[in-house]
């Protein structure tokens, strides 16, 4: 009996000792920082050394090693070097549900203090725009710190007998297949593009990543494919040079006024709008508007760095000043094109423009896309 008592005593005493040390340390840590909340965010004075000794958590809703992850990890050390106060940047990967999980995590945990920021991609925008019931993040509650657009190029096999986009009519009566990651992924944009042009393309789902789709193209299993700009430059251009792939069109890029222009990375290649017009269609109406909206969400706003819209402007300025400084750094200029591609990471008004185009889609266009997905893929959304 007494042995049992002494054991209980031992457990209680040690537990109290350890837990009080643990919670005590946590409490000390917590009292060191100012709490910015939705209510007080407007009154708080932000000093220039606000980020000094702070650790910023950059949430990436994708797994390690992918495009979104690389983007964040490439930028992180430059942020530390160039943002006033030299904050430590930690990239936290929370993959799952095609990036819904990590973005939800951000929505549930973020405060308007710049200490947690979210990097989203076209993949994150798609389920939001299609009203996926799992989505708890709302772009209306955020504002952009930085935006990074990209582009994409559609190409096909020379066995189809065409030389370029000029011969696109040759494709219209052919039955083609396309290696896709899934009906609600970023692949919506190329698949919808094929449909608008009147091409007969059957999507084969289950591919993991665009790389797997490219491999299927190289094996001859599919005759048409698309890659984002940097993957196209690295892995498809060599095929084009050997005559094993024919570039058709790019998805284009958005200029400062939000107009569709030729992709500056591929100035010789027509953009989708040109090809669409060449078949006699007008660049207006619900079909075109829907295409434009989803292209902007998928490619124009390929990567967005976000913070809650209540975040004090001074905090966003600290970020953006740092980013401007980063873009002038020698090492950044040397390595950026190889690591990220040709496009500019933008801040300020251009970033806001891209953010609006990528995340604010009219109800009509959403509905049109949902109906199209339902009919085309028998999808229940």
Partner 1 sequence: MLDLVLNAFQTLFSLEHFPFLILGVLLGLVIGVFPGLGGIAGLSLLLPFIYGMDEVSALATLVGLVAVIPTSATFTSVLMGIPGSSSSQATVLDGFALAKKGEASRALAAAFSSSLFGGLFGAVILTFFVQIARPMILLFGSAELFMLAIFGLSMVGSLSGKSVTKGVIACGLGLIVGSIGAAPATGEYRMVFGINYLYDGIPLVIIALSIFAFPEISELFRKDTAIAEGAELGKGGWTRGIKDLIKNKWLALRCAGLGTIIGAIPGMGGSVVDWIAYGHVVQTTKDKSGFGKGDIRGVIAPESANNAKEGGALMPTLLFGIPGSGSMAVFLGGMVLIGIEAGPSMVTKDIDLTYTIIWSLAIANVLGAGLSLFLANPISRLTKIKFSLLAPFMIMVISFAAFQATKDIIDLWILLLFGVLGIFMKRFGWSRPAFLIGFVLATQAESYLNMSVQFYGLNMFMRPGVIIIMLLSIISVYFSRKGSVDENAELIEKGLAQKLKITPQFVFSGVIGILVMLSLFDSIKQSFLGGVFPMVISIILIPFILYLFWIYKSNDQSKPEIFDAEQVAEEGTFKASWFEPIAWVGGLYILSMIIGFVPSIILFFISFFTLKAGTSWLHTALLTAGGVLLLLGFSHFLNLELPQGLL
In sign, the C-alpha dihedral spanning 101, 104, 109, 113 is positive
From residue 293, alpha-carbon distances to 147, 192, 310 in Å are 17, 12, 26
Rg of the chain over all Cα atoms, to the nearest angstrom: 24
Closest CA to 265 of 232, 224, 216, 226: 232
Give the CB-side neighbour count of residue 166, counting CA atoms within 13 A: 3
- Closest to partner 1 by CB, 165 vs 302, is 302
Does residue 161 interact with partner 1 by CB under 8 A? no
- Closest to partner 1 by CB, 46 vs 116, is 116
Binding residue for partner 1 (CB under 8 A) from 44, 84, 85, 95?
95
Binding residue for partner 1 (CB under 8 A) from 27, 37, 52, 65?
65
Return the range that interacts with partner 1 (CB under 8 A); candidates 146-154, 207-215, 299-307, 317-325.
207-215
Binding residue for partner 1 (CB under 8 A) from 48, 64, 362, 364?
64
Does residue 375 interact with partner 1 by CB under 8 A? no
Return the range that interacts with partner 1 (CB under 8 A); candidates 13-21, 41-49, 252-260, 283-291.
13-21
Q: Give min distance, CB of 378 to partner 1, in A.
A: 6
Does residue 19 interact with partner 1 by CB under 8 A? yes
Give the contacts of 144 (CB within 8 A, at least 6 positions apart): 304, 305, 306, 351, 352, 354, 355
The gap from C-alpha 23 to its chain's centroid, in whole angstroms, comes to 38
- Closest to partner 1 by CB, 218 vs 344, is 218
Q: How many residues does the chain have?
A: 381
Among positions 326-365, residues that touch partner 1 (CB under 8 A) are 335, 338-339
Binding residue for partner 1 (CB under 8 A) from 231, 293, 326, 347?
231
Q: Cβ(80)–Cβ(51) under 8 Å?
A: no
Q: Residue 23, exposed/middle/buried by CB under 10 A (0-12, 13-18, 19+)?
A: exposed
Does residue 169 interact with partner 1 by CB under 8 A? no
Hey, is 221 helix, strand or coil? coil
228/152 Cα distance (integer angstroms):
4
Q: Cβ(361)–Cβ(297) under 8 Å?
A: yes
356/289 Cα distance (integer angstroms):
15
Does residue 234 interact with partner 1 by CB under 8 A? yes
Does residue 24 interact with partner 1 by CB under 8 A? no
Q: Give min distance, CB of 343 to partner 1, in A.
A: 15
| Count of C-beta atoms within a 10 Å radius of residue 287 | 17
Binding residue for partner 1 (CB under 8 A) from 114, 149, 151, 183?
183
Does residue 70 interact with partner 1 by CB under 8 A? yes
Q: Cβ(197)–Cβ(276) under 8 Å?
A: yes
Does residue 215 interact with partner 1 by CB under 8 A? yes
Site residues (vs partner 1, CB under 8 A): 7, 10-11, 13-15, 17-19, 22-23, 63-66, 69-70, 73-74, 76-77, 90-97, 101, 134, 177, 179, 182-184, 202, 204-209, 211-212, 214-216, 218-219, 221-222, 231, 234-235, 238-239, 335, 338-339, 377-379
């Amino acid at each position: 009996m007494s042995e049992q008592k002494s054991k209980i005593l031992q457990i209680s005493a040690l537990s109290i000792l350890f837990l009080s040390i643990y919670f005590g340390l946590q409490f000390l840590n917590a009292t060191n920082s100012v709490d910015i909340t939705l209510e007080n965010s407007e009154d708080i004075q932000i000093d220039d050394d606000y980020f000094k000794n702070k650790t910023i958590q950059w949430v990436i809703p994708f797994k390690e090693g992918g495009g979104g992850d690389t983007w964040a990890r490439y930028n992180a050390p430059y942020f530390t070097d160039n943002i006033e106060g030299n904050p430590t940047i930690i990239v936290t990967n929370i993959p799952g549900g095609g990036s819904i999980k990590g973005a939800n995590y951000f929505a549930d945990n973020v405060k308007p203090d710049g200490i947690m920021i979210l990097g989203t991609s076209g993949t994150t925008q798609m389920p939001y725009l299609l009203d996926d019931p799992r989505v708890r993040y709302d772009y209306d509650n955020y504002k952009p710190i930085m935006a990074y657009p990209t582009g994409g190029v559609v190409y096909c096999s020379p066995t189809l007998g065409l030389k370029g986009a000029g011969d696109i009519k040759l494709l219209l009566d052919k039955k083609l297949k396309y290696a896709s990651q899934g009906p609600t992924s970023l692949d919506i944009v190329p698949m919808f593009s094929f449909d608008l042009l009147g091409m007969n393309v059957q999507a084969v789902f289950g591919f993991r990543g665009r790389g797997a789709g490219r491999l299927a193209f190289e094996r001859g299993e599919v005759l048409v494919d698309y890659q984002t700009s940097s993957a196209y430059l690295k892995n498809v251009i060599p095929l084009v040079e050997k005559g094993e792939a024919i570039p058709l069109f790019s998805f284009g890029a958005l200029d400062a006024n939000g107009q569709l222009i030729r992709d500056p990375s591929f100035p010789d290649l027509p953009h989708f709008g040109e090809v669409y017009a060449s078949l006699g269609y007008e660049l207006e109406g619900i079909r075109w508007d829907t295409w434009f909206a989803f292209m902007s969400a998928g490619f124009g706003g390929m990567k967005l760095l976000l913070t809650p819209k209540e975040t004090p402007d001074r905090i966003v300025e600290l970020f953006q000043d740092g980013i401007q400084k980063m873009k002038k750094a020698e090492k950044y200029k040397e390595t950026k094109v190889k690591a990220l591609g040709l496009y500019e990471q933008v801040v300020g008004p251009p970033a806001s423009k891209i953010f609006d185009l990528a995340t604010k889609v009219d109800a009509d266009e959403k509905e049109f896309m949902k109906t199209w997905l339902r009919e085309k893929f028998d999808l229940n959304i």
